[in-house]
């Protein structure tokens, strides 16, 4: 089961991951700007789906967003609750979200879908679509490359997606892509982000 593999892999290195990548200052300034602009236009409830150490959740909470974080890894949630006590966090799988149909206005899935094997991504995108209200916003960040090609991720197996293929999968799940960005900084894997709304 993918969830179990990912949970165990991140649990074993949760402290190391949080110390290395768990602060907003560790993120790219363009990502901070992108995510902040995305959240500013959303009026209503947002979830940070796959929040990890919770730094993005706290980042948007401090900017007035009605946001909570969810993650598969209890160690991440425990740490996030300690570090950001004013923010709501809970353990959850992305496969079955604890939210009613159409009850959310935004979902941030920032590099939280990268570990899903190709065959398992479409039903998760459908689940994200289920919980979003009409014209609800989704922002997805991922490594851009050959679609469904595995990559040697430091924690556990992850996958590249092309913008074209991710856009197609989002369309099939009920989304309309409204904005795409790509970035390839020297020495790191190519980055892509897609903003989509419910059709």
Counting every residue written for the chain, the total comes to 199
pLDDT tens string 89-125: 999 999 999 999 999 999 999 999 999 999 999 999 9
Structural domains of the chain ordered from first start = 2-157+167-198 (3.40.50.150)
What whole-number distance in Å separates Cα of residue 96 and Cα of residue 74? 16
List all residues 6 or more positions away from 172 whose beta carbon is below 8 Å from its beta carbon: 122, 125
| Structure token digits, residue 28 | 């790219």
Q: pLDDT exceeding 70 applies to what percent of the chain?
A: 99
Would you say 11 and 75 are in contact if contact means Cβ atoms under 8 Å apart?
Answer: yes
| Structure token digits, residue 61 | 């909470």
Would you say 126 and 175 are in contact if contact means Cβ atoms under 8 Å apart?
Answer: no
pLDDT tens string 65-95: 999 999 999 999 999 999 999 999 999 999 9
pTM of this prediction exceeds 0.75: yes
What whole-number distance in Å separates Cα of residue 135 and Cα of residue 1? 32
């Amino acid at each position: 089961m993918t969830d179990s593999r990912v949970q165990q892999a991140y649990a074993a290195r949760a402290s190391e991951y949080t110390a290395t990548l768990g602060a907003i200052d560790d993120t790219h300034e363009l990502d901070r700007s992108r995510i902040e602009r995305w959240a500013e236009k959303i009026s209503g409830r947002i979830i940070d789906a796959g929040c990890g150490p919770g730094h993005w959740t706290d980042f948007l909470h401090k900017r007035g967003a009605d946001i909570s974080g969810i993650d598969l890894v209890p160690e991440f949630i425990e740490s996030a609750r300690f570090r950001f006590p004013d923010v709501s966090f809970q353990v959850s799988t992305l496969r079955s979200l604890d939210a009613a149909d159409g009850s959310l206005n935004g979902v941030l899935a920032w590099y939280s879908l990268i570990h899903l094997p190709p065959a398992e991504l479409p039903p998760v995108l459908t689940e994200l679509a289920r919980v979003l209200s009409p014209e609800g916003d989704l922002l997805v960040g991922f490594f851009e490359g050959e679609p469904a090609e595995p990559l040697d991720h430091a924690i556990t197996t992850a996958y590249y997606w092309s913008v074209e293929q991710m856009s197609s999968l989002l369309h099939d799940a009920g989304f309309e892509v409204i904005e795409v960005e790509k970035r390839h900084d020297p020495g790191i894997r190519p980055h892509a982000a897609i903003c989509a709304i419910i059709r």
